[in-house]
Chains A and B, each alone.
Chain A
């Protein structure tokens, strides 16, 4: 046999498997057990996003626990089950997961894992024409919820945004894949906010105006949240633009005089003001049955202000408790709603010198909050030409309107950047704890366990 013939035969013998080898990616793509429900379709991803427990109902509560809308009695403080909660309440230096397993960090990053997995899965789907609307919707929701989770955590675990120092300030670890074997480290604050803004801008381009459920994010929600993000960055121009865009899609306010103020849950779930449903993790210190509303805050409401009776109820011990959550019931709303967006627009207008327009937004909100007599409001429009007075009014009502929403912590931090000089004080069992304005403890410690396992940089303690 001639040598080349032999060569041919032998090449054939060897090359047959080799050529087959080249198509082996597909060959190995087959799942190892048909029973494994591998998320692949848009329906699968939507079902993961509809897991409201993980997506909507586990926002961080650490900021609210640290804030001054409420306080605890000594007995209630003593009875807190977790040392970590006590530590957050009096601005201590420890958050320990092995003490309190669930915290805003764990739930936030769990949400982010869901979103990352979905975004990776979507890359493998052809956004065909027939389903492009659903495809965009799912994709937009994943971007929205990732941004929301990052932003909520940034408020708790990062400094207030400052354009000057943002590229050196510590941000969050920006984990953008589902791979849990990669090494994580913290980005700077500029990158962190950039990520949040970018995600939300993508979401705005993808999401529908009217979702089928308020548990799902929408274009209005993305504008609203982005307005909040810019507000926290003190970028008032962009905050204004986004708040305005939001209100163009969704602008309804509730007339509080139509609500049943005697009810323990006077405000309905998914009411007309709600744009996106989200709430903080339920946790002992801010449980509505435990937390007592600050006396100063309660006393600051005018008697004709319906929020005084709709938001609060007298406790047997003479203090007041909160019952005005937009989540109806004990969960504390931290989602997006029109009342907040009006207040953002009003503040930005006032800060940008458009005082009259700003005051108009505030008055429009307050007329819906005021008592009516014989069908006519008792509210008299607030009027001023002074930017400072306008801003003061708007911020005063921002505080009174957005109680126990997780926003107070963000507000204190950003307003102190503007020179508001808000400092906090707690008295526990006779001992006084103070948190001066701009103190480093406005940035909470990252859970110790996370630092230990990841080696990432801890905030100054």
Chain B
């Protein structure tokens, strides 16, 4: 109710009548002093408007409260003059606007404001910059251009996810909050058509993001869509482009050579390594070479054997993948935008169609429709509605490298998918000789043909998303208006994974559960013959409701902007999946299986249940929030700002909801260049700003409630099933907080030669989820995940735009982003003291005083000159006692190499224009971090058939240790030896690199020509992206972001397209 009272007090502000007077003036251009007709003059705060006539003369009626006149005109900088300060009659001169430096408007999702009025840290990405790249989605364009944002390709959970200003959490979700216009977008953001995007704002510091409260700790990305405008004739724009995606370079994969692999197989056979596999009653597959060895009884001198293996040694499965599986991918994009407006209505409509086929022939289609409308029936009332409709579908394609296996084993490097005449070949999933020995007719064919199988196995998903929002804005008095906004989103996805009757998956399951009576020969199929269909459905429903008051008032030298409101959000996601056996798509027949009894598997005779695939999901998140945000400007020079927000949610504990845990921020800025003492002509704009505040981060996996699990009744207490706690109710469970202190300096050199900002920030992550030692008196065990961990971090963001050359026809402009970020664990409890647990790179190392993701490794002491064994240091002595090294050493015995996430990152973009021709080149860099490369692991090689090209350069004889660090191969595996080597410091490399992100070449056709064609403008463009690394610190030519085992380098993209606007 307090808030309601506050609202009512606001309502009564400024309810008075005033007398009017008329001001007359003239608008001229500052350069030529010519009259400027068509300029709009607005009184502030009264908001009366007038238009300058043909001679630049205007009349405007103002009341005594009005203190400022604001003049705006397309192509000119907005200008403000104080009514009192200027001599009458007014002559207002307008400065022509630099084309690429029009006023930057940022959006926080709650309000839009000029960047120069904000105290917080925002990165704004305009339409032009955003469209220098071509893509189906929105987010993938950001890392190459946005300041303070990187795609995490370094940590294990990274997967290219975006990260703003480094880490704010240890275990919690790391993704920034994504807001579409006014509300968080709960569905898959890839639903949105990038051609609907007008601009993107990154909210980087707490003052910027704290308005989003408990979900903003990782920063916020606000996507602002294009809007219609009043009094605007119909305009039609379209964008057509096509992208080619190159086949991948499989040569980059460090696959062991076929010849080496066969040598190893011969050695293992000789040592009877395969005996257990050969005698295994499950009949696991053996490779063709091992089958040959069995056939020839291990005699590798047998001419027949030699002839066969000599041929196999020449094959390389990468060639087979390249030839049969990979293709040139193709993306096509068509987008159409229309907008227009009359006095009371404006509208925008768009349609988009994307059609992609990947390098593995996976198909993706997306169809977008959007219609937005604003209706202003009265001067004070504005009603907006916006509807987005998305339909997309994807279909699986061919298997990629590493997706074809031989049962549980990796595919041998000499595998072939087709013979010389192109006939499909089989890859054994069971012992080939066993399958061939099976009686025909009763069982289905048990062979697996990679070249045929994907055609019988199709995984389709389709998604429809409907987003509807509507809002009413009503102005009560000049300066005070109220918003009521509602948004509804419904995203439905259906998945259909169909393995038809000829797929190996179906045939294998049918055969596995086939029972043949040995005496009568009677056959029972426990899994009916036919296909297997897995269906899934997911439904997301989200509602948002917001009521907000906006108050803007300017008088004399004071300017106040306030917003306050309350909102509800609820998102429910439900899902189910289930399986049908014996499916026949032609007649929609399905069969029955018995899930309740165990049946003997055909080969092993072991009893097992027929696999089911059923699951139900239902998750719900709800929020109730109250927020306020305000700023006060004095004399156009000093600004102070503050915000506060309170969230309650069903994800938090009771105590958390009961308390008024506010997330707040304060900030201030000082426009030094407006001071009378400031006289610099070189830097006409200079502003200092600082903020401090808090935002939160939520982990929906954490539950504040007690949960229990039921168990079967114990023998000594029959009939009484019992339960135990799975999760202990934590009434204090809360969001993680991220506190941030930000200092910024904005500057602009004369003629906008150099515009930019330098920011320094400090970050404190508090209440982060981590293990806490518990006093056992509470009865919940020794440790518990609670809001106890802490981290700190700091960083620098530099954003520069310069105009290096500006001539009549030629110009050269540069955009430069520099980001530095460092984080450090302050408080975190690792469960273990064992040094081995700190080794893995890319997962949380959790060592106090070190980055969250750090690389620790066993100190490398070289290869043993006698044996080629890897050695390390224990108690200061060289040793190959791996048990000691791994289990008896502690963290202090390990070598710390540095952090896994880049300390320095950023981008450099250069745009050269000559007439209508424009060329943009963009580079990105990541520096100051490390990665652990992989190498030969003999355990994986022997047991799984997973090799590594490093094998060829391994230690083989004394002396080799001088030029190699790759351990010798020993028979009788020593897993600890492999684990030690793969965790040793010799495999840690510097990850610094520079990447060429994209090249954009565009040509705008001559205006006269275009006008003759009846268009407003027309441009064609050529774009190349993912151009790869141009410099790296490691000497092995590895791409640090794509080096893990079987990861391919991303394809290069080449696009050609056309953009046009018709009036």
Q: Which residues of A contact B (CB under 8 A)?
A: 1, 3, 6-7, 9-11, 13-18, 20-21, 24, 27-39, 44, 47-48, 50-54, 97, 101, 105-106, 109-114, 116-117, 173, 175, 178-181, 184, 213, 215, 269, 447, 449-450, 453-454, 456
Contacts and interface: CB of A to CB of B under 8 A. Distances in A.
Which of A15, A52, A113, A454 has the most chain B CB atoms inside 10 A of its CB?
A113
Contact of A18 (B547, B651, B778): B547
| 7 interchain residue pairs of minimum CB distance | A113-B779, A34-B618, A47-B723, A180-B778, A17-B547, A109-B779, A453-B775
6 contacts: A6-B380, A24-B648, A31-B650, A37-B708, A50-B722, A105-B776
Contact of B706 (A16, A39, A181): A39
B52 interface: no
B545 A51 contact: no
Contacts of A456: 777
B622 interface: yes
A32 B779 contact: no
B467 to A, nearest CB: 20
Contacts of B655: 179, 181
B782 A97 contact: yes
Interface stretch (B728-736, B798-806, B821-829): B728-736
Interface in B759-776: 773-776
A32 B619 contact: yes
A15 B617 CA distance: 35
Which of B472, B546, B775, B779 has the most chain A CB atoms inside 10 A of its CB?
B779
A32 B620 contact: yes
A31 B705 contact: yes
Nearest to B381: A9
B619 A34 contact: yes
A17 B650 CA distance: 18
Main secondary structure of the interface of A (DSSP, over half): helix
Contacts of B15: 3
Contacts of A116: 779
B706 A21 contact: no
A241 B807 CA distance: 108
A1 B474 CA distance: 12
A54 B723 CA distance: 10
Given A27-B568, A39-B706, A10 B731 contact: no
Which of A6, A97, A101, A116 has the most chain B CB atoms inside 10 A of its CB?
A6
Given A14-B4, A105-B777, A449-B776, A179 B731 contact: yes
B47 to A, nearest CB: 16
Given A28-B648, A31-B705, A184 B775 contact: yes
Given A51-B723, A213-B717, A450 B775 contact: yes
B649 interface: yes
A20 B651 contact: no
B707 interface: yes
A180 B720 contact: no
Contact of B784 (A36, A180, A269): A180
B436 to A, nearest CB: 47
B732 A215 contact: no
Interface string B528-555: 0000000000000000011101000000
A38 B774 contact: no
Nearest to A172: B777
Given A101-B782, A180-B778, A32 B731 contact: no
Which of A24, A44, A51, A114 has the most chain B CB atoms inside 10 A of its CB?
A51
A44 B709 CA distance: 9
A44 B651 CA distance: 22
A106 B782 CA distance: 9
A39 B705 CA distance: 9
A9 B547 CA distance: 12
Interface in B612-643: 616-622, 624, 626
Contacts of A13: 472, 474, 482-484, 547
B922 interface: no
Interface string B699-741: 0100101111110011011001111111111111000000000
B861 to A, nearest CB: 34
A213 B452 CA distance: 63
B1043 interface: no
B548 to A, nearest CB: 8
Contact of A30 (B622, B708, B716): B622
A178 B729 contact: yes
Contacts of A175: 777-779
Given A28-B622, A50-B713, 9 more contacts: A14-B549, A16-B545, A17-B546, A17-B567, A28-B649, A32-B619, A39-B707, A50-B721, A173-B777
Given A13-B482, A32-B621, A178 B776 contact: no
Nearest to A29: B650
Contact of B545 (A20, A105, A109): A20
B617 to A, nearest CB: 7
Contacts, number: 209
B775 A48 contact: no
A37 B709 contact: yes
A276 B1063 CA distance: 90
Given A1-B380, A17-B567, A180 B700 contact: no
A10 B381 CA distance: 11
B780 A113 contact: yes
A330 to B, nearest CB: 13
Contacts of A97: 776, 782
A28 B484 contact: no
Contact of A181 (B3, B482, B731): B731
A52 B714 contact: yes
Contacts of B773: 453
B3 A18 contact: yes
A30 B781 CA distance: 27
Contact of B726 (A31, A37, A53, A105): A37
B657 interface: yes
Contacts of B568: 17, 20-21, 24, 27
Contacts of A33: 618-620, 703
A117 B723 CA distance: 13
B952 interface: no
Contact of B566 (A18, A31, A39, A181): A18
A426 B8 CA distance: 81
A110 B137 CA distance: 52
Contacts of A39: 706-708, 723
B476 A113 contact: no
Contacts of A1: 378, 380
Which of B566, B703, B777 has the most chain A CB atoms inside 10 A of its CB?
B777
Contacts of B387: none
A24 B724 CA distance: 31
A357 to B, nearest CB: 37
Contacts of A29: 650
B306 interface: no
B405 interface: no
Contacts of A106: 776, 779
Nearest to B566: A17
B344 interface: no
Contacts of B986: none
A36 B776 contact: no
A175 to B, nearest CB: 6
Which of B547, B621, B726, B782 has the most chain A CB atoms inside 10 A of its CB?
B547
A123 to B, nearest CB: 13
A39 B729 CA distance: 10
A180 B707 contact: no
A184 B780 CA distance: 14
Contact of A36 (B566, B621, B703): B703
B11 interface: yes
B296 interface: no
B7 interface: yes
Contact of B650 (A30, A48, A51, A101): A30
B655 to A, nearest CB: 7
Interface in B1-55: 3-4, 7-8, 11, 15
A35 B482 contact: no
